[in-house]
């Protein structure tokens, strides 16, 4: 089974109540080869919600207690992000996920890049909280960009 960010399959669950549809991912869900997950909704957020960014590091740093996730108003939402990450990990284990395709740049799901924490649109290298946790636990995590660049057969046979 492939676990995919819900927004990539067309669900309007991003912070601004939009999606980031990738047709190939939607097809995989429709074919029963992929299951949707939104770590932020699992963590207790609603849609829409304020945008959030990691302050003081990356998702790995958040998991280690050295960084936090805050929304644009300055509210510390680290607990919700961590909760969503651990619930996503439980789901990945339960369904036996072979690969996880997550939305790039997200403070939850970014697998290669996230925003820098200054809410100025600047991206930095790093992972979101969920991507970092899943990788730490041995899951293959890729972005939608990697899926489109390389195809899924490089990561798993479907």
The DSSP secondary structure of 48-113, one letter per residue, reads S---EEEESS-HHHHHTTS-EEEETT--B-HHHHHHHHHHHHHHHHHHT-SEEEE-TB-TTT-SSE
Contact 59, 34 (CB under 8 A): no
pLDDT, one tens digit per residue, over 50-66 is 999 999 999 999 999 99
pLDDT, one tens digit per residue, over 89-109 is 999 999 999 999 999 999 999
pLDDT, one tens digit per residue, over 71-94 is 999 999 999 999 999 999 999 999
Separation between Cα atoms, residue 59 and residue 111, nearest integer Å = 10
pLDDT of 45 strictly over 90: yes
How many C-beta atoms lie closer than 10 Å to residue 81's C-beta?
28
The closest alpha carbon to 80, from 136, 38, 122, 143, belongs to: 38
């Amino acid at each position: 089974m492939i676990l995919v960010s819900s927004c990539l399959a067309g669900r309007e669950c991003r912070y601004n109540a939009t999606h980031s549809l990738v047709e190939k991912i939607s097809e995989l869900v429709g074919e029963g080869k992929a299951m949707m997950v939104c770590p932020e909704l699992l963590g207790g957020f609603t849609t829409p919600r304020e945008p959030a960014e990691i302050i003081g590091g990356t998702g790995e740093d958040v998991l280690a207690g050295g960084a936090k996730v805050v929304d644009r108003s300055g509210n510390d939402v680290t607990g919700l992000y961590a909760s969503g990450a651990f619930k996503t990990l439980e789901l990945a284990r339960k369904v036996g996920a072979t690969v996880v395709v997550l939305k790039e740049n997200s403070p939850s799901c970014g697998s290669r890049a996230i925003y820098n924490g200054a809410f100025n649109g600047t991206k930095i290298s790093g992972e979101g909280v969920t991507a970092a946790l899943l990788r730490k636990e041995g899951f293959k995590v890729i972005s939608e960009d990697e899926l489109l660049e390389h195809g899924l057969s490089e990561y798993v046979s479907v």
